[in-house]
Amino acid sequence: MDTSDGALELPTLQPMNEPSSYSTEAGLVAACRRQDVRAFEVLYKNHGSQLKSVAYHITCNHQDAEDAVQETFLRAFRAIREFRGQSTLKTWLWRIAANVCFDMSRKRKTETEFTAIHDRGTSGPAQRLALESVIRRLSHNHRMVFLLFAVEGMKHSEIAAILNVPEGTSKSWLFEAKKELQRMLESQR
C-alpha cells in the first residue's frame, strides 16, 4: 500500500468482472449452489434467448414468454440446492423451463387458440404463420421435441435428458410431430 503522498487509495464500489470460475461447468454449478445471482445471470446469458424462443411458441406472445423465462429462473434459484449434478446445469434448467411451459400451456390453452396468429405486431411470411399456427396444435410433448430439435437445434440426447424419456422416444415424438404438421399443412392447402 502506498502511503507516500498521504492520500490513501480506498477501494470504491464498482461492478466486478465475471469470475473465470463461471467458465467451467463445475465452477458455475458451485456458484449457482451458493445462490450467487451473477452465476444465474451467466445462465441467463447462455440460455435466455433459446428459452424465450421456445416459451414464445408455447405461450404465443412475447410478454407471456418473458414471464415463463422469469418463472423458470425463480424456480431454478429456489431449487438449486436440490440440484445433485446428475445432469448438466443446462439440462436441469431446461427441465424446469419445460415444466413451466407445460403449466402455462395448460393454463392458457383456450386463449392460445384465438391469439396465436394475431399476436404478432407485423404479419410475417405466410409460410411462417402457417407453420407457427399448426405447431401450436401439436400435443405438448410433440411440440417441445419439435421446437427443441428442429427450431433450436438441440440433439436428441439433450432433449431426452430434458424430457426424461429415452432417446428413441424423442426421435419417435419428432417423427410423429412432423407427420402431424405435414398432415395439418396439407389439409390447409
Partner 1 sequence: MNFKCTDLDEALRAPELPEDAVIHAQTCDPCRKQIELWSSISDFAPQLHEEWSSPALWNRIECRLEVPPRNTGSTAWRVVLAAAASLLMAVGVYCFWPTPLVTSSIEPGAFLTAQTLKEVQSAETTYVQAIEKLSAAAGPTLKNSSTPLAAMYREKLSLLDSAIADLKAGVAGNRYNAYLQMQLATLYQEKQKTLEEWLENAKHNN
Which residues form the interface with partner 1 (CB under 8 A)? Answer: 1, 3-4, 6, 8, 10-16, 34-38, 40-41, 44, 48-50, 52-53, 56-57, 62, 65-66, 69-70, 73-74, 77-78, 127-128, 131-132, 135, 146-147, 150-153, 171, 175, 178-179, 181-182, 185-186
CB of 85 to partner 1, least distance (A): 19
CB of 66 to partner 1, least distance (A): 5
Please say which residue, 109 or 183, places its beta carbon nearer to partner 1. Answer: 183
For residue 6, CA distances in Å to 1, 2, 9, 140 come to: 11, 9, 10, 68
Please say which residue, 50 or 112, places its beta carbon nearer to partner 1. Answer: 50
* Rounded-to-integer distance, Cα 98 and Cα 49, Å: 15
For the chain, the first-to-last Cα distance in angstroms comes to 77
For residue 146, CA distances in Å to 141, 149, 181 come to: 9, 5, 10
Residue 172's SS3 state is: helix
CB of 91 to partner 1, least distance (A): 20
Please say which residue, 117 or 131, places its beta carbon nearer to partner 1. Answer: 131
Q: Quick one: which of 12, 148, 37, 18 has its CA closest to 91?
A: 148
Total residue count of the chain as it appears in this document: 189
CB of 53 to partner 1, least distance (A): 4
